[in-house]
Amino acid sequence: MDDLSDMNLEKIKLWSIHALKVFLSKRKADVDGSFDELCARAFSAWEQQLPVDAKAECKEMRLLGKYSAKLRVDGGVLPDPMMLKSGWKGENAGMNLWPSIYITDISAYIDGTSPSAVVHKLMKEYK
């Protein structure tokens, strides 16, 4: 998407929806609509040589930085969940892998962060 010197509609149709929305948002264009509408709008913006809005580009870079930071955990980088195509488990299969959590675990957590009256009430209302 970097080289836009010889752009045409067929090349724009090879872009992802995300790439189209980024291209359009940086030029203050509407980012709603079907894939074909976004392609047509992006090609039109390219033909009209709409300038890149510096504020929109800074906002996009800031958001991308925040998103990337959320994927960094304990010195490693997690895979981007929006890019995963396989390896997902359904809710029922995934819940079987969750650790067991008991009322004592919850009360111990709350005891460390809340007054003892809340813990007492929690234990009293537990059914």
pTM value is: 0.48
d(CA 66, CA 52): 21
The 3-class SS string of the chain reads CCCCCCCCHHHHCCCCHHHHHHHHHCCCCCCCCCHHHHHHHHHHHHHCCCCCCHHHHHHHHHHHHHHHHHCEECCEECCCCCCCCCCCCCHHHHHCCCCCCCHHHHHHHHHHHCCHHHHHHHHHHCC
The pLDDT score that the predictor gives to residue 113 is 61
Partner residues linked to 12 by β-bridges: none
Largest CA distance in the chain: 71
What tokens does 25 get?
Answer: 């948002």
- pLDDT tens string, the chain, 127 residues long: the values are 445 667 888 888 998 888 898 888 888 888 899 999 999 999 998 888 888 888 877 887 888 889 889 989 888 888 888 777 777 777 888 888 888 888 777 777 776 665 667 667 777 776 6
What tokens does 29 get?
Answer: 């264009």
